[in-house]
Amino acid sequence: MAGTRVAVVTGASTGIGEAIARELAHRRWHCVLLARRADHLERIAGEIGGEWEVCDVSDRAQVDEVAGRVLERHPAIELLVNNAGVPARGSFLDVDPEVIERAIRINYLGGVWCLRAFAPALHAGAHVVNVVSVAGTVAFAPAGAYAASKHAQLAFSRSVAALLRPRGIQVHTVMPGFVETEGFPQRTKLRSPFMRRFVIEPEDVARAVVKAIERGTPEVTVPWFPYRISTLAQAVMPRIFSRLVTRRAGEHRDGG
């Protein structure tokens, strides 16, 4: 496999992760797929000519063990995609505490553990992609636990971008809006006809990831409109934005 570019993709058994793996394979990347469902991983890896490892990214010991096996086969990794994520519907006052903890362990800490485990194989010219969410820039009460985990992930991504830049490793933060996936059935959860118009597919995110890598773009919002507007409104007019989303609290159930 000399000369082959190797990518590790987490959460690759379905949705955005699967779409990213397929898009990368189409562009001649050799993908190592990580997720918790062996049957899905085996099927996808067989279809794209990749490899797979069962891995729960919230389990630090398991991540280290899996990374050790992968690095024995591939001592140089050109791309790490931290994509694994779970929904966390409900407010901080009524959601099950385990939902809050699970979101933090997978959505935020999963990326931390994966970066630490695979860092020895990342060298100058490599890339790290963190699939965050617009929810990482917009606080929304009915999905507070999810938004908080994504805010943490965004801070992590920006921090490691500065940390790894001197080593010649580029970090890309990709922030999708509402995406229709197995875990996030947005078209049935969104009450607003306006917002349903902007629900995108996993393949849209996959193409945005590849484009960010090829162009060296540090942060990408997918699609730009209307989500980037919401991000700017939260930052520039937090009080007005908070009142607006409070009035519309019943229209959305979760972030992208």
Beta bridge partners of 80: 8, 128
Q: Copy the structure tokens of residue 242.
A: 């908070």
Q: Which of 207, 108, 203 is nearest to 159 (CA)?
A: 108
223 is in which domain, residue-wise? 5-247
Task: Tell me, yes or no, whether 81 lies in a domain.
Answer: yes
Q: Copy the structure tokens of residue 47.
A: 């279809």
**Amino acid in the structure at residue 152:** A
Task: Tell me, yes or no, whether 181 lies in a domain.
Answer: yes
pLDDT digits (tens, 9 = 90+) for 52-111: 999 999 999 999 999 999 999 999 999 999 999 999 988 899 999 999 999 999 999 999
Task: Tell me, yes or no, whether 254 lies in a domain.
Answer: no
Q: Rounded to two decimals, what is the model's pTM?
A: 0.87
- Report the CATH number that the domain containing residue 200 is assigned in CATH: 3.40.50.720
Asked whether 171 and 128 are in contact (CB, 8 A), the reply is: yes
Choose, from 118, 146, 178, 241, the residue flagged as catalytic: 146
Phi, psi of 128 (to 5 degrees): -125, 130
Predicted local confidence at residue 129, as pLDDT: 98
pLDDT digits (tens, 9 = 90+) for 176-205: 988 876 665 554 554 555 455 568 899 999
108 is catalytic: no
Q: Maximum distance among all alpha carbons in the chain?
A: 57
pLDDT digits (tens, 9 = 90+) for 148-159: 999 999 999 999
Task: Tell me, yes or no, whether 255 lies in a domain.
Answer: no
What average pLDDT does the segment 206-226 reach?
91
pLDDT digits (tens, 9 = 90+) for 217-236: 999 999 766 556 666 655 66
Query: Using CA atoms, how far apart are residues 155 and 22, in angstroms rounded to an integer?
Result: 28
Predicted local confidence at residue 243, as pLDDT: 58
